Amino acid sequence: MDHRELSPSGQRLLEVATEVFYADGIRATGVDTLAERAGVSKPTLYAQFGSKENLVAAVLDRRRAARQAALTAFLADSGVSGGQAVLAVFDWLAHGHGREGFRGCPFTNAAVELPDPGHPARAVISAYKQWLRRRLAELAELAGLDRPEEVGYALLLLIDGANARVVVDDDRTAMLRAKAAAARLIGVADA
């Protein structure tokens, strides 16, 4: 469902679910809690989204669109090119790691909670991760790096590893360490 088609109650549900699913977990949050916190009835949730599963997918799709737009704008505004553009992605992500309440990548966290490959949110999770890998590969290609597809995959592994370090040990410096490893990988001085 296009988020613009939602009623004000549906928008409120989407906003509340975005916050609560990330802070408390998807499986730990029931529809009663979501409806109560959003100040709507359970039938409103089902009328707007059809199911909790579809609400989860809508939440992640909203995050996907916002993150893609934000990273694209950040890179466009950064004024960097070549290998420094690749490393700028790590700077952007590191900034997020420093925010209060950050508890890892919302897409990876959701994937862990939703092991069923048929869950509607899994397609959104996969689409975001594929987009990020392709974007990294594009930046690697623009930087003139050999085998940009492989580089993009390796860089995504570094990013996912840094996100895991936050979840496991609350290591807020992990993305900067991943950036240093990425700089060595692509042969660019870490600025």
pLDDT digits (tens, 9 = 90+) for 54-85: 999 999 999 999 999 999 999 999 999 999 99
Q: Which two tokens stand for residue 173?
A: 């410096």
Q: Which two tokens stand for residue 72?
A: 């694209």
Whether residue 108 lies inside any domain: the answer is yes
Cα–chain center distance at 107 = 5
The CATH number of whichever domain residue 109 belongs to comes to 1.10.357.10
- Answer yes or no: do 109 and 178 share one domain: yes
pLDDT digits (tens, 9 = 90+) for 125-140: 999 999 999 999 999 9
Helix axes 106-113, 120-142, angle to 10 degrees: 140
Q: Which residue range is the domain that position 4 belongs to?
A: 1-50
- Answer yes or no: do 69 and 129 share one domain: yes
- Answer yes or no: do 79 and 6 share one domain: no
CA distances in angstroms from 114 to 54, 56, 119, 128, listed in the order given: 13, 10, 7, 16
pTM reported for the whole predicted model: 0.92
- Answer yes or no: do 45 and 71 share one domain: no
Q: What is the CA radius of gyration of the chain?
A: 18
- Answer yes or no: do 40 and 120 share one domain: no
- Answer yes or no: do 181 and 93 share one domain: yes
For 47-71, b/e burial (b = at least 16 CB within 10 A) is ebbeebbbbbbbbbbbbbeebeeeb
Cα–chain center distance at 112 = 13
As for how many domains the chain has, the answer is: 2
Is the pLDDT at 4 greater than 70, yes or no? no
pLDDT digits (tens, 9 = 90+) for 83-127: 999 999 999 999 999 999 899 999 999 999 999 999 999 999 999
Please check whether residue 133 is in contact with residue 156, taking contact to mean a CB–CB distance below 8 angstroms: yes
pLDDT digits (tens, 9 = 90+) for 14-47: 999 999 999 999 999 999 999 999 999 999 999 9
pLDDT at 117: 95
pLDDT at 1: 47
The CATH number of whichever domain residue 25 belongs to comes to 1.10.10.60
Please check whether residue 40 is in contact with residue 12, taking contact to mean a CB–CB distance below 8 angstroms: yes
Q: Which regions of the chain does DSSP assign to beta strands (E)?
A: none
Which residues neighbour 138 within 8 Å (Cβ) at sequence distance 6 or greater?
148, 152
Whether residue 34 lies inside any domain: the answer is yes
Whether residue 191 lies inside any domain: the answer is no
